[in-house]
């Protein structure tokens, strides 16, 4: 049943769901299943496999909750056949909790106190609304605990209010009203209207919007204002309209008893139902907004991780600064630190000539092939300084340095460079980011790379899980050089993790590298399952077996030999030989017993036709307008080149070389309607924009990508 529900909810075949769950239970990872088990899953991609995994975990958790509730009510001796059937047939958590509410262990309520005083029979008689004469007999309910008739009536109303609150049908109806018609209202918190810090939320001082129409970024902004104590919020639909159905269900006439029940109903709504459902709807909307924001962050993180690398080049990298100077380092093709120094080309020292000579000497001495400049403080000025004298044969790149300071102060950086300070480590990180963004960015917490919206306001556990998935999928999509990868990069490889990555590094150091994939089996504690999961994602250059430097899994090496033999060539000469592949009919090698289908054969062909092809492309440079270096240099109508630095639901931010990134609102991105900015742009993409708004005082810059 679980598999059928997952298949139905995700629009995926039941057999595919069963195959994925079986593979996951055997210890297979998502990247491995997506890449090397296409025949079993019907070609499901990583996202679909993760969705199946998450949905299965959710349903298992839901089933355990049901089991607990049934057991708990059974222990109370209150589990009727009808209640058991209702719980077992329940498919929504909210409805399940409604059924459980009357039996839940809780603190003593006003209704409980009234029951203890013996007022439940009175409450039941009033709730039936049949015999108004019982009001003339209230004295029979008086006791030491109930000293007057007013107290008796109030106790009865408290009990009735609780019955109404615990009525599953009432809660279901009102929940639907909240989910469909609720508005979110916000106003300044008491005493905060004139608070200077609260002014950033002044757009929400007198604000209301239907929750179903509220963008996630706006909802999160209001929630941030509330959490900081600057805003007071309320969420509810029109109470009168929402209660019409409830009144028809509960009120049975127009006598004195009905008036008392109506009072209890109002109390139930205002004291119990409204606060409970308000909290529920806000929690639900917060989760939706979190998921939306996390999806944006994950997409941005993935694009940054998969940004085009420059490759193995000798790089001079600079961490720019004004007063403290620009720390520079020279790196080998492998990213090893060769030398370091500091130049002072900017104010207050202005040692431009001396700085130029130092850089020119370093370029000659270390045969520098590219220069990387961090895009933070003094980045634009340093870029301009270098472009004035560096030869065109040595391109100068602006590199996004978000998170570089986090890395430079981390334990990872201290371990790599124990004898250097944070400025040197930061410069090294900038240079390595240009060479291979993925290999460098895996060393820092993905939350620190600064490419999301409201990442500090969303559910941190959910964010961390999603970003870990993104990093893992990115690493395995690109593949890893087994003989050069850091342990941080290796730890994200399918089937490994930090412990095995550490053992691989130790073995590599002791044996001067790996000569083949098969040698991985000699690494302590790296068993057959781990080898199966990781081998296809690891590359070994110069191996005796050329397939070790491809994405072909070792389990298919014999298959490749058979394919090569059919074409009359060796495996070595089959690689990159498009002519040989024209003689091969892939259908001849389909073998159901060995789980060899056309998807696997096509993947092998694609991999061997272009071995070692990096799916990320090659890094390109952007040239900023020399005349524009600060916001004061801008004029409305200017057309400028820029780099997309961040993508949100409401637009994208673009660096045009003036320190302050400009916003291209989604309405200014195209002459046609688009649902999301990611339809048009990617992180790091070069774009041409027009300046449409300049607000120097508020440091806001409005841009347009329209023609």
Supply the Cα-derived Rg of the chain in whole angstroms.
Answer: 33
C-alpha 406/C-alpha 432 separation (Å) is 15
User: Could you tell me the CATH number of the domain that includes residue 323?
Assistant: 3.30.420.140
Domain limits for position 154: 113-296
Phi-psi region of 311 (alpha: psi -120 to 50; beta: other; left: phi over 0): left
DSSP character at residue 155: H
458: in domain: no
Count of beta carbons in the 10 Å neighbourhood of residue 523? 20
Q: Is residue 368 part of a domain?
A: yes
Q: What tens digit of pLDDT does each residue of 54-109 get?
A: 999 999 999 999 999 999 999 999 999 999 999 999 989 999 999 999 998 889 99
Q: Last residue of a domain, which of 408, 435, 462?
A: 435
pLDDT tens digit sequence for 451-480: 666 677 888 888 888 888 999 999 999 999
Sheet holding 326-331, edge to edge: 337-343, 326-331, 315-319, 370-374, 396-399
The answer on 640 and 602 residing in a single domain is: no
Helix (H, G, I), strand (E, B) or coil at 612: coil
Locus of tokens 């781990």: 530
Whole-number Å distance between alpha carbons of 291 and 298:
10
Q: How confident is the model at residue 276 (pLDDT cuts 50, 70, 90)?
A: very high
Averaged confidence pLDDT in the chain:
91
CATH assignment at residue 32: 1.10.10.650
* Residue owning tokens 């989604």: 666
Same domain? For 174 and 263 the reply is: yes
**What is the rounded distance in angstroms from the CA atom of residue 609 to the CA atom of residue 575?**
6
Q: CA–CA distance from 562 to each of 551, 583, 607 (Å)?
A: 18, 13, 16
Check which CATH number belongs to the domain holding 535 and give it. 1.10.150.310
pLDDT in tens, 626-647: 778 788 888 999 999 888 888 8
Distance CA 282, CA 643 (A): 37
pLDDT reported for residue 692? 94
> Are 189 and 288 within one domain?
yes
Predicted local distance difference test score (pLDDT) of residue 628: 80
* pLDDT the model gives residue 648: 85
Instruction: Return the percentage of the chain with pLDDT > 70, whole number.
Output: 99
Q: What is the 3-state secondary structure (H, E, C) of 535-558?
A: HHHEECCCCCCHHHHCCCCHHHHH
User: How many structural domains does the chain have?
Assistant: 5
Q: Which two tokens stand for residue 183?
A: 């508005």
Q: Which of 118-122, 153-157, 379-383 has the lowest mean pLDDT?
A: 379-383
- In this structure, are 152 and 290 located in the same domain? yes
In a domain, 143, yes or no: yes
Which of 533, 537, 430 is closest to 489 using CA atoms?
537
Same domain, 644 and 546: no
Residue 204: which residues within 8 A CB-CB, separation 6 or more? 186, 221, 222, 225, 231
pLDDT at residue 450, as a whole number: 61
User: Would you place residue 686 in the very low, low, confident or very high pLDDT band (cuts 50, 70, 90)?
Assistant: confident
Within this chain, do residues 149 and 33 fall inside the same structural domain, yes or no?
no
Together in a domain, 521 and 555: yes
> What's the CATH code of the domain at 125?
1.10.3500.10
CA distance 162 to 112: 9
What beta strand segments (E) does 229-355 contain?
Answer: 231-236, 315-319, 326-331, 337-343
| Co-location of 163 and 292 in the same domain | yes
Asked if 381 and 519 sit in the same domain, the reply is no
684 and 597 assigned to the same domain: no
> Do both 419 and 517 map to the same domain?
no
Q: Is residue 302, in this structure, part of any structural domain at all?
A: no
Distance CA(483)–CA(514), nearest Å, equals 6
- Burial-class residue 369 by CB neighbours within 10 Å (0-12, 13-18, 19+): middle
For residue 481 the two structure tokens come to: 């050089």
The whole-angstrom separation of Cα 306 and Cα 534 is 20
Q: Domain check: are 12 and 61 in the same one?
A: yes
For the segment 294-304, what is each residue's pLDDT rounded down to a tens digit?
888 888 888 88
């Amino acid at each position: 049943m679980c598999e059928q529900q997952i298949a139905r909810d995700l629009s995926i075949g039941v057999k595919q769901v069963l195959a994925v769950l079986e593979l996951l239970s055997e210890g297979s990872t998502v990247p491995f299943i997506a890449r090397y088990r296409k025949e079993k899953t019907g070609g499901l991609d990583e996202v679909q496999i993760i969705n199946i995994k998450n949905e299965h975990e959710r349903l298992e958790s839901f089933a355990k909750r049901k089991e607990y509730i049934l057991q708990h009510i059974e222990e109370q001796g209150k589990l009727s056949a009808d209640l058991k059937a209702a719980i077992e047939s329940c498919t929504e958590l909210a409805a399940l909790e409604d059924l459980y509410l009357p039996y839940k262990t809780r603190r003593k309520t006003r209704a409980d106190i009234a029951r203890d005083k013996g007022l439940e029979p009175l409450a039941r008689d009033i709730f039936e609304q049949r015999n108004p004469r019982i009001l003339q007999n209230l004295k029979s309910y008086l006791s030491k605990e109930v000293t007057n008739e007013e107290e008796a009536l109030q106790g009865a109303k408290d009990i009735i209010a609780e019955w109404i609150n615990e009525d599953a049908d009432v809660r279901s109806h009102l929940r639907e009203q909240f989910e469909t018609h609720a508005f979110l209202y916000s106003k300044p918190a008491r005493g905060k209207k004139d608070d200077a810090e609260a002014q950033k939320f002044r757009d929400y001082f007198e604000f209301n919007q239907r929750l179903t129409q509220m963008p996630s970024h706006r909802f999160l902004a209001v929630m941030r204002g509330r959490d900081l104590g600057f805003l007071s919020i309320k969420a509810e639909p029109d109470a009168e309209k929402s209660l019409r159905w409830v009144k028809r269900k509960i009120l049975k006439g127009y006598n004195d008893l009905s008036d008392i029940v109506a009072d209890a109903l109002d109390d139930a709504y205002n004291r119990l139902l409204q606060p409970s459902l308000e909290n529920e709807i806000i929690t639900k909307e917060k989760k939706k907004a979190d998921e939306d924001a996390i999806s944006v962050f994950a997409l941005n993180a993935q694009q940054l991780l998969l940004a085009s690398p420059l490759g193995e080049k000798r790089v001079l990298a600079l961490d720019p600064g004004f007063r403290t100077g620009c720390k520079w380092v020279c790196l080998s093709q492998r990213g090893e630190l060769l030398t370091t120094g500091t130049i002072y080309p900017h104010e207050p020292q202005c040692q431009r000539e001396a700085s130029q000579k130092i850089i020119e000497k370093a370029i000659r001495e270390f045969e520098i092939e590219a220069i990387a400049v961090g895009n933070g403080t003094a980045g634009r000025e340093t870029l301009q300084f270098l472009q004035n004298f560096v030869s065109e044969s040595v391109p100068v790149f602006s590199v996004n340095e978000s998170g570089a300071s986090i890395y430079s102060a981390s334990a990872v950086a201290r371990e790599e460079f124990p004898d250097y300070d944070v400025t040197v480590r930061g410069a090294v990180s900038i240079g390595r980011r240009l060479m291979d963004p993925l290999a460098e960015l895996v060393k820092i917490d993905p939350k620190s790379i600064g490419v999301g919206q409201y990442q500090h306001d969303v559910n941190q556990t959910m964010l961390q899980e999603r970003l870990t998935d993104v990093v893992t999928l990115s690493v395995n999509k690109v593949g890893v050089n087994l003989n050069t990868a850091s342990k941080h990069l290796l730890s994200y490889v399918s089937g490994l993790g930090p412990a095995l990555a550490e053992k691989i590094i130790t073995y590599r150091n002791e044996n001067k590298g790996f000569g083949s994939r098969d040698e991985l089996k000699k690494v302590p504690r790296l068993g057959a399952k781990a080898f199966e999961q990781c081998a296809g994602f690891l590359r070994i250059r110069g191996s005796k077996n050329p397939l070790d430097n491809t994405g072909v899994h070792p389990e298919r090496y014999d298959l490749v030999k058979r394919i090569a033999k059919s074409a009359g060539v060796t495996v070595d000469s089959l690689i990159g030989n498009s002519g040989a592949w024209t003689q091969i009919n892939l259908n001849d090698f389909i073998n159901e017993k060995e789980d060899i289908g056309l998807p696997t054969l096509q993947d092998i062909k694609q991999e061997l036709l272009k071995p070692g092809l990096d799916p990320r492309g090659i890094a390109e440079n952007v040239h900023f307008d020399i005349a524009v270096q600060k916001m004061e240099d801008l004029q409305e109508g200017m057309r400028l080149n820029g780099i997309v630095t961040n993508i949100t639901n409401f637009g994208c931010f673009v660096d045009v070389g003036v320190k302050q990134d400009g916003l291209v609102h989604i309405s200014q991105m195209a002459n046609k309607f688009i649902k999301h900015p990611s339809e048009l742009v990617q992180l790091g993409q070069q774009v041409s924009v027009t300046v449409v708004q300049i607000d120097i005082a508020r440091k806001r810059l409005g841009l347009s990508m329209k023609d």
